[in-house]
Chains A and B, each alone.
Chain A
């Protein structure tokens, strides 16, 4: 395997954009990425697209060539990859593997989702398709219900409190309020988070991430080609994709995501680093409990200590290891198919020192963790600046 680098990024703002269609969002992210990298459309050798449910949300299939052609990319392989909320993380892994193996020198990986044109109940119904439709969903579950049951069990085993969950939401809103690309740019108080409308006990509306529209794109190149392009290359030091059962009731434990733990171990090993070396991270906070568990599964803290870690301020901007300085899925937004690649864009922004008032001083090594469903797909990526 040869080393691979991120040589450019591009993102749309995340939000509700009734006047934008799925293709125009994706094309905007691709155009921005081409411009950032100095690549031309004709220099791209393959196009990978992460998208969870375009066919259900907007009725469009065959999305990869549909988007690529509109962005001026013709003739090359264009492939859509679906892995629930880890769709573009999985697309990134496939793209990385192809470049690392020497199949291509230069590829683009985009992610897109257009969710807000559907009613909230219909969005929930489409998202439920990432779970076990014949089992848990048929019994009346929803994704908030699955993560509520995960939270309840974590509280039972480790004494995690709802205040600690709410701290994650308060922190990520604090970060997102400073991010001009975020969907919900406003601070919330702990009192407000705790008093929110209960969706599935104990989770309130403030424990849940947002339903958003948006797209993101990154350019990958073999490291020996990377300096041909405009941006400072960022090394993909470690990357791993893993899987597990789709149904929550088929998992041995639900207070840890085994797939995340294994992806983290593999990515650390590939990068030759350990958890203590990671300066900052973008973690998949689809629900507040998910960020707490991710900090444990990735070894930032011992098992069961994630709630107290969040409460301590360690994961806030200015803390020992800032998490979701972009605002995370909670405040930046969660157009599900775009999230995995957007996390890479957010790491790159920090590693390039371009995050403005959210900049982490001396950021050199960051980690992104993308989760599909209740843990059936996990992708962990470690990026480093030279």
Chain B
């Protein structure tokens, strides 16, 4: 499952249930299927417009991770 970051924030004042996890990044992901999903971000922080891929679903929360852009660069034309 892949998509693009529509918007995001980093939460420093978390709800009690997630108190031990702050700060954490929350984002609305615009999935390639066309729907939007509120999800959490693993790994490097993301910005609006970044490509992301689903990393895992844990306790019903979707965690996305920044897509590995180097993969797509493999298909770039060679530069000299």
Chain A residues at the B interface, C-beta cutoff of 8 Å = 121-122, 124-125, 128, 135-142, 144-145, 148-150, 152-153, 156, 197-203, 247-250, 254
Contact = CB atoms under 8 A, between A and B. Distances in A.
A153 B27 CA distance: 11
Contacts of B21: 140
A334 B14 CA distance: 21
Given A140-B21, A141-B26, A152 B12 contact: no
Interface in B1-41: 6-19, 21, 24, 26-28, 36-40
B8 A149 contact: yes
Interface of B: 6-19, 21, 24, 26-28, 36-40, 48, 60-62
B9 A140 contact: no
A138 B61 contact: yes
A198 B12 contact: yes
B7 A149 contact: yes
SS class of chain B's interface: helix, strand, loop or mixed?
A: strand
B31 to A, nearest CB: 10
Nearest to B49: A156
A78 B3 CA distance: 49
A215 B64 CA distance: 44
Contacts of B13: 124, 142, 144, 199-200
A120 B61 CA distance: 24
B11 A249 contact: no
B73 to A, nearest CB: 25
27 contacts: A121-B15, A124-B15, A125-B15, A135-B38, A137-B15, A138-B60, A139-B26, A139-B61, A140-B15, A140-B61, A141-B26, A141-B38, A142-B15, A144-B11, A145-B11, A149-B7, A149-B27, A152-B7, A153-B7, A197-B12, A199-B13, A200-B11, A201-B12, A203-B9, A247-B38, A248-B38, A254-B7
Contacts of A250: 36
Nearest to A254: B7
B8 A152 contact: yes
Contacts of B8: 149, 152
Given A136-B38, A149-B26, A247-B38, A142 B7 contact: no
A145 B28 CA distance: 11
A197 B23 CA distance: 13
Nearest to B63: A139
A140 B18 contact: yes
Contact of B37 (A124, A200, A203, A249): A249
B21 to A, nearest CB: 7
A138 B38 CA distance: 9
A140 B24 contact: yes
Contacts of A141: 11, 26, 38
By Cβ-Cβ distance, the 10 closest A-B pairs, closest first, are A148-B9, A136-B38, A153-B7, A149-B7, A249-B36, A201-B10, A121-B16, A199-B13, A200-B9, A139-B38
A88 B74 CA distance: 58
A362 B60 CA distance: 56
Nearest to A205: B13
